[in-house]
Structure 1
Amino acid sequence: MKKSGVLFAAALLLASCASAPPTSLITPLPHGVKPVPGKAAQNQEQLRGVWLTTVSRLDWPPIASVNGGSAASRISQQKEALKDKLDNLKSLGINTVFFQVKPDGTAMWPSKILPWSDMLTGHIGEDPGYDPLRFMLDEAHKRGIKVHAWFNPYRVSVNTKPATVAELNRTLSQQPPSVFVLHHDWIRTAGERFVLDPGIPDVRDWITSIVAEVVTRYPVDGVQFDDYFYAESPGSVINDGQTFKTYGQGFNSKADWRRHNTQQLIEQVSRTIKQLKPGVEFGVSPAGVWRNRSHDAAGSDTRGAAAYDESYADTRRWVQQGLLDYIAPQLYWPFSRDAARYDVLAKWWADVVKPTNTRLYIGLALYKVGMPSKNEPDWMINGGVPELKKQLDLNESVPQIKGTILFREDYLNQPQTREAVSYLKSRWGN
């Protein structure tokens, strides 16, 4: 998702059009599973959400807060910045924040499993002097805003630079140390970053334990995974050949085995959350295209990078099996983008959730609003307001679409989105 992910997805959108299609497979409902009858329509408020990223300090905390100064000054700057953001979101009518609590192999809370995030202090494992997740929950709930803890399940670092390796190695003497040094046999390099190997059962158990720690200790309203499952790039693929030899017996292909691994993670996280706190919602925000119709008769009329084939995530199946309380596909294209039309995908997803109890929220590309684009000029017309209005109008006209999530928070504060933000305030604001 999320900026590097957006660029990666854009590259795949083009690459997937030129590559040979995979073997066609119409994914049926799993054996013995019947579609879940939909519940009667409820007059519940539409979700109006925003993703608030912490990776690379894209949205928060402020970069200036970690550039020298006292600990007290840093804490004050970070807390005030978060309160200012929440005040602004409240005035815009935002009712849910998806807060990135695990941007990589580090944490935004005092974890017994992960070291502290270097986003807070500049150094992995350094105690920031307060609990950001607790602070976020207290301040958001005070304003009537829900908080979903957003996890990137497999990313360990955003790059593989020598300085990053040195920083990770230094955690060996800390409690807890980074998974990079504690379980180095789990680590792979893919997409120019360090990641965990999803094919190792202990890795999936470890990720589940991290989610369980947050759900047990904090009054979060939900848990969300983003679209990084198998996050490769063509020039930097996950070297999981040995893992496949060890665990892949009985599968027709490595692709089927990888999808099974992702399925296993989703199943056990879903089950764990419901056992610990049934009221905490579990959702996933996948790439917008499940499969293209040219590859699969059940797919959408699109020509985009497909989660099923690129990330090895059978997102449609998770909805059918009732593993998710909600799904929030990232539909980051305008109505005029033929390869992946917004309306085509929104209606396709609405049909997927229709016979189930899984709610559908749509992820919108706020980061594109007001930005010049040769392929998507609509984002520039009248400050992007007409395109934004069309997308929101469609969301509110389709009964299965229960809300909208904007990617991402700091774009609410940029000059190019000023007209669009004014429009949002007039439409959603209190």
Structure 2
Amino acid sequence: MPQQSSATTVKRFAALAGCALLLISCTSKPPQSLVTPLPSAKPPVAQNGEPVRGVWLTTVSRLDWPPISSVNASPNIRENMQKQALTDKLDKLKSLGVNTVFFQVKPDGTALWPSKILPWSDTLTGTIGEDPGYDPLQFMLDEAHKRGMKVHAWFNPYRVSTNTRPSTVAELNRTPSSVFVQHRDWIRTASDRFVLDPGIPAARDWITSIVAEVVTRYPVDGVQFDDYFYTETPGSALNDSQTFREYGQGFASKADWRRHNTQQLIAEVSRTIKQIKPNVEFGVSPAGVWRNRSHDPAGSDTRGAAAYDESYADTRQWVQQGLLDYIAPQIYWPFSRSAARYDVLAKWWADVVKPTNTRLYIGIAFYKVGEPSRNEPDWTVQGGVPELKKQLDLNDSVPQIQGTILFRENYLNAPQTQDAVSYLRSRWGS
């Protein structure tokens, strides 16, 4: 999920969000096609109840919650402010017809519940490891369920921190329960952040144990991973050469090995959740493009950064192998964006899930609504309502699409989105 490290640069966030799925021209030689055979056709799973009408509620850098003003308040006032802000948000979401909240409980190497594995998140108090005096995850579950809304616990699996500043290093080192201290040998830098090396089996087991802790202790309706698997930028690549030498025997390339590592995490987490509570859904919200057709005949007719080649996530294979209850690709472009048309990608994903038992929800770019864009002017036409309507109409018309998720919650409160919010209320609200 596109995110950033400073609340003071939220405006820049919207631009960066597109960069996470940057539309690019592939100038390097395309890799050899690795087309995963389709399984034998199965009838689509019947939709249980109403379609998912969801929203991502982000806690990293306090982008959606908790309020920045609450952090410096006294403990009692802080707790009341944070609880009030959350119930206000849930009341508004309920009025809009939202029935599922994807709540970010692990924004980095910290937790928004009293974990025995992770330290408390500094998003709550300003200090890693400081007890906020209440259990935000339990509070969210209680309040959402009271309103008839479901909650999926959203985890960022590999991110340890949002930056590598000396002050961050010092704070992590002062936190004995931090993975930065406990398992320093797992830590790498990538995209100018501290991350876990996905090639280390013990690190994957550790992530799985965190998910297991939440699923065991809390009545969550689902678990979701976002699109941050292997995350690199040209100026900040992940150095996993030593890990590859240690664990990569038998793989033709580092890229194949990396995809194997990501698949191993997904399979392990999926298996663990089903062993603990079979009714808890497991899903992933990957980049909207699996592969481009120019790279692979099974890919979509697009020219975008692809999860398979950029994040080393063979998301299509996970669907085909039955590892996911749902997949929620981030299709963050309008119908007119020729390099990655909304309708082209939504229908491509519908074809992928069609012979499987995996449900399809589409993540849409509500953060772009009302924002001027030279490449995507449709988001400002009549307040973005016609584009939003077209996307929701398509989602409702394709049988395999069983829900829509908006990115992200606080944009529902932005001045430039209010026409679209009114439209959502008229379409989804009771």
State TM-score, norm by structure 1.
0.96
Match of 2:49 among 28, 44, 48: 44
Match of 1:231 in 2: 231
User: What amino acid maps onto 2:93 in structure 1?
Assistant: L
Q: What is the CA-CA distance between 1:10 and the residue it aligns to?
A: 3.3
Query: Does the C-alpha gap of structure 1 residues 96 and 43 become closer, same or farther in structure 2, counting only changes over 3 Å?
Result: closer
Percent of aligned pairs with the same residue? Answer: 78
Matched, 1:80 2:84: yes
Post-superposition CA distance 1:156-206 (Å, at most 9, x none): 00000011001100012xxxx100011000000000100000000000000
Match of 2:111 in 1: 107
Match of 2:27 among 19, 40, 51: 19
Whether the 8 Å CA contact 1:12–1:304 is kept in 2: the answer is no
Whether the 8 Å CA contact 1:290–1:314 is kept in 2: the answer is yes
Post-superposition CA distance 1:257-306 (Å, at most 9, x none): 00000000000000000000000000000000000000000000000000
User: What amino acid maps onto 1:109 in structure 2?
Assistant: W
Q: Distance in 2 between matches of 1:256 and 1:408?
A: 33
Match of 1:93 in 2: 97
Match of 1:164 in 2: 168
Match of 2:67 in 1: 62
Post-superposition CA distance 1:134-162 (Å, at most 9, x none): 00000000000000000000000000001
Match of 2:18 in 1: 10
User: What amino acid maps onto 2:27 in structure 1?
Assistant: S
Query: Does the C-alpha gap of structure 1 residues 105 and 12 become closer, same or farther in structure 2, counting only changes over 3 Å?
Result: closer
Match of 1:340 in 2: 340
Q: What is the CA-CA distance between 1:7 and the residue it aligns to?
A: 5.2
1:401-412 equivalent positions in 2, closer than 5 A:
401-412=401-412
Whether the 8 Å CA contact 1:8–1:233 is kept in 2: the answer is no
SS at match of 1:166: helix
Match of 1:414 in 2: 414
Q: Distance in 2 between matches of 1:73 and 1:340?
A: 46
Match of 1:368 in 2: 368
Query: Does the C-alpha gap of structure 1 residues 289 and 316 become closer, same or farther in structure 2, counting only changes over 3 Å?
Result: same
Q: What is the CA-CA distance between 1:23 and the residue it aligns to?
A: 1.2
Whether the 8 Å CA contact 2:287–2:330 is kept in 1: the answer is yes
Structure 1: segments with no counterpart, 5+ residues = none
Whether the 8 Å CA contact 1:188–1:196 is kept in 2: the answer is yes
Post-superposition CA distance 1:347-383 (Å, at most 9, x none): 0000000000100000000000000000000000000
Match of 2:135 in 1: 131
User: What amino acid maps onto 2:88 in structure 1?
Assistant: D
Question: RMSD over aligned Cα, in angstroms?
Answer: 1.4
Q: What is the CA-CA distance between 1:13 and the residue it aligns to?
A: 5.2
Structure 2: segments with no counterpart, 5+ residues = 5-12
Query: Does the C-alpha gap of structure 1 residues 247 and 8 become closer, same or farther in structure 2, counting only changes over 3 Å?
Result: farther
Q: Distance in 2 between matches of 1:199 and 1:139?
A: 38
Query: Does the C-alpha gap of structure 1 residues 194 and 271 become closer, same or farther in structure 2, counting only changes over 3 Å?
Result: same
Q: What is the CA-CA distance between 1:70 and the residue it aligns to?
A: 1.3
Post-superposition CA distance 1:13-44 (Å, at most 9, x none): 55741531431313223xxx834612453462
Whether the 8 Å CA contact 1:36–1:357 is kept in 2: the answer is no
Whether the 8 Å CA contact 1:322–1:358 is kept in 2: the answer is yes
Whether the 8 Å CA contact 2:326–2:358 is kept in 1: the answer is yes
Query: Does the C-alpha gap of structure 1 residues 324 and 43 become closer, same or farther in structure 2, counting only changes over 3 Å?
Result: closer
Whether the 8 Å CA contact 2:14–2:367 is kept in 1: the answer is no
SS at match of 1:17: coil
Aligned residues: 422
SS at match of 2:343: helix
Q: What is the CA-CA distance between 1:9 and the residue it aligns to?
A: 6.3
Q: Distance in 2 between matches of 1:64 and 1:352?
A: 44
SS at match of 1:288: coil
Matched, 1:326 2:331: no
Whether the 8 Å CA contact 2:23–2:339 is kept in 1: the answer is no
Q: Distance in 2 between matches of 1:7 and 1:38?
A: 40
